[in-house]
Amino acid sequence: MKISCVILTMGDRIAELDRAVQSALSQTDDVEVVIVGNGADVPEITARPQPGSASTIKKIRLERNAGIPEGRNRGVQECTGDIVMFLDDDGWYASPKIAAHVRERFMREPDLAVLSFRVMDPEGGSVQRRHVPRLRAGDPERSSPVTTFLGGACAIRKSAFLQVGGLPERFFYAHEETDLAWRLLGEGYRIEYDAETVMYHPLVLPQRHPEYYRYNARNRVWLARRNLPWPLAVIYLTNWILLTLIRERSLPALKAWFGGFIEGIREPAGERRPMAWKTAWKMLRLGRPPIV
């Protein structure tokens, strides 16, 4: 099995991109690195394959910032690997043996579609709860089956990715991984959080993005409209309205969130392929039913 690594960049974090690429090229297994300039030229970097390595670097440029899902989809199209690792341009791999570990697991487990990595703060070694893709996130060192994954810290079987249509490009940012995960589960694949595979990433909050609340709400509606039987969609969206009202105290944030929610109802969500009830039951047994 050949390993590829897709890294998106907007060309504004050159030193961080260099570090990310070098961490991929420094793996003990050969890795094809595909750098996607998302509406920007890929900057010149110093990272190079190790002497004697068959690892390579490929650069492509999108004419506009097409968003995270479309950028990653384009990266996958350019890959020749059987397994694709996605890496944020400001993150890096903690060990040079991650690609070998990933290859071994995917070769041994043919029903495995995604490995979600453990994301750690390089300064304090802490793990944010939102980076552990399950409800019981108190022990980030425990691996487990899950129902979603982290888009910038994962490895995906390319054939499974293509089988379900890749990431939903209309989403632009937020919840695109969950949409893909639910469709993979519906096809009988497994998704696992693997605590042994560690990626370092600076401690940042998603709220730093100006459109965070709008995209978060809009894409939750689209996620439900695309993937859930209508009774579950109603429960799912009602739950998130209540959770948002309980958690959020900022009036501008609430205004943006509900504006995005209305946009999600009014605007086309893309192809609707509601999951089977047996898939919803599988998610319930895994500890995260598709209503929260």
pLDDT (tens, 9 = 90+) of the chain, 292 residues, equals 999 999 999 999 999 999 999 999 999 999 999 999 999 999 999 999 999 999 999 999 999 999 999 999 999 999 999 999 999 999 999 999 999 999 999 999 999 999 999 999 988 766 778 889 988 888 999 999 999 999 999 999 999 999 999 999 999 999 999 999 999 999 999 999 999 999 999 877 666 566 899 999 999 999 999 999 999 999 999 999 999 999 998 999 999 999 999 999 999 999 999 999 999 999 999 999 999 8
Separation of alpha carbons 69 and 173, rounded Å? 7
Residue of 45, 144, 155 lying closest to 93 (CA atoms) = 155
Separation of alpha carbons 239 and 215, rounded Å? 17
pTM: 0.95
Alpha helices in 62-147 (DSSP H): 68-78, 98-108
Residue of 7, 26, 28 lying closest to 16 (CA atoms) = 7
Q: Does domain 3-204 have CATH number 3.40.50.2300?
A: no
Q: Where are the domains of the chain?
A: 3-204, 207-285
